[in-house]
């Protein structure tokens, strides 16, 4: 059981704070924009972001970093985007229609991480500026998952006294050591596990504080886990759902405290 409990916790070493826009935002003011969306969500992906605007209008697209063109479906204003990082607090998005740039969008997060200013510059039209305040998600550059965690026995039915250490391994990799060990990347691909009853793990970052993991045995999904770090970064809750080798159904919650 100890091997089943820990694998989901290692995905967000580099990613949770790579982009200061990650999180949820609420509109506080707008200039030169009619009926703008009033809610914004930015979710980290392994090589980009998933952006969702909601309100009077709805915009939903994914964009890859490093200037890769990404197709956007169902939006009359643009059908492709390019995402570029300017510095640690700023990003630029090129909106394209039929391969032609129709607008440049500059996102800038304040130094304290609480305010986001988006300046959209359509070709031949005045700038459209919206200002947003953070309503959820991480707001600092520190990664909430990295570090050493110990099991909180007062909040866990399975009293195993587990200790977990999470480290980065290169740009997008993670490294875990303990009763078992492995190296994995956050790219949606299966990675082999050593000294585990499972064969592979696939990692998915839901948001800056939430990681989903899928474990397979003999090419069949055997377990799905979700790990969530609290807003203050001091507690991590792991929810395990799966089937043991004996066929027994498994559902457990494990709670860890950061050391």
CATH number assigned to the domain comprising residue 92: 2.40.128.20
φ, ψ of residue 119 in degrees (nearest 5) = -110, 115
Which range marks the domain in which residue 183 is found?
Answer: 2-16+142-258
Q: What are the tokens at 194?
A: 């050593």
Q: What is the DSSP string of 32-48?
A: S-SS-EEEEEEEE-SSE
Residues 89 and 154 grouped into a single domain: no
Q: Which residues partner with 217 through β-bridges?
A: 220
Q: In the chain, how many domains are there? A: 2
Residues 32 and 126 grouped into a single domain: yes
* Residues 160-197 pLDDT 10s: 677 777 776 655 666 666 666 777 776 778 888 888 88
Q: What is the DSSP string of 185-221?
A: ESSS--EE-BSSSSSEEEEEEEETTEEEEEEEETTEE
* Percent with pLDDT over 70 in the chain: 79
* Residues 85-118 pLDDT 10s: 887 788 899 999 999 999 999 999 988 888 999 9
- C-alpha–C-alpha distance, residues 141 and 159, integer Å: 33
* Residues 112-143 pLDDT 10s: 888 999 999 999 899 989 999 888 765 433 46
Residues 128 and 146 grouped into a single domain: no
Q: Answer with the one of 85, 109, 136 that is the final residue of a domain.
A: 136
Residues 153 and 234 grouped into a single domain: yes
Output the CA–CA distances (angstroms, integers) from residue 165 to 12, 88, 197, 236, in the order listed: 13, 27, 20, 13
Residues 193 and 160 grouped into a single domain: yes
pTM of this structure: 0.49
- C-alpha–C-alpha distance, residues 44 and 173, integer Å: 15
- What is the per-residue pLDDT for 105? 93
* Residues 1-45 pLDDT 10s: 333 333 333 333 333 345 788 888 888 888 656 566 788 888 777
């Amino acid at each position: 059981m100890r091997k089943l409990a820990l694998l989901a916790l290692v995905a967000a070493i580099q990613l949770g704070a790579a982009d200061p826009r990650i999180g949820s935002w609420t509109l506080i003011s707008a200039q030169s924009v009619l009926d703008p969306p009033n809610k914004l969500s930015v979710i980290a992906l392994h090589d980009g972001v998933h952006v969702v605007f909601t309100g009077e209008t709805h915009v939903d697209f994914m964009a890859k970093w490093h200037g890769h063109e990404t197709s956007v479906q169902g939006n009359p204003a643009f059908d492709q985007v390019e995402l570029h990082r300017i510095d640690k607090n700023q990003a630029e998005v090129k909106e394209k229609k039929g391969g032609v740039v129709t607008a440049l969008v500059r996102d800038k997060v304040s130094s304290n991480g609480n305010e986001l200013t988006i300046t959209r510059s359509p070709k031949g039209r005045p700038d459209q500026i919206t200002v947003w305040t953070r309503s959820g998600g991480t707001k600092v550059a520190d990664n909430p998952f990295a570090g050493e965690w110990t099991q909180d026995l007062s909040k866990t039915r399975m009293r195993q006294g587990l200790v977990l250490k999470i480290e980065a391994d290169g740009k997008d990799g993670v490294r875990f050591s303990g009763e078992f060990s492995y190296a994995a990347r956050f790219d949606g691909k299966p990675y082999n596990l050593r000294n585990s009853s499972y064969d592979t793990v696939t990692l998915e970052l839901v948001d800056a504080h939430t990681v989903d993991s899928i474990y397979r045995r003999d090419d069949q999904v055997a377990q799905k886990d979700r790990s969530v770090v609290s807003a203050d970064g001091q507690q991590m809750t792991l929810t395990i759902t799966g089937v043991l080798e004996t066929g027994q159904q498994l559902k457990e919650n494990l709670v860890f405290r950061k050391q």
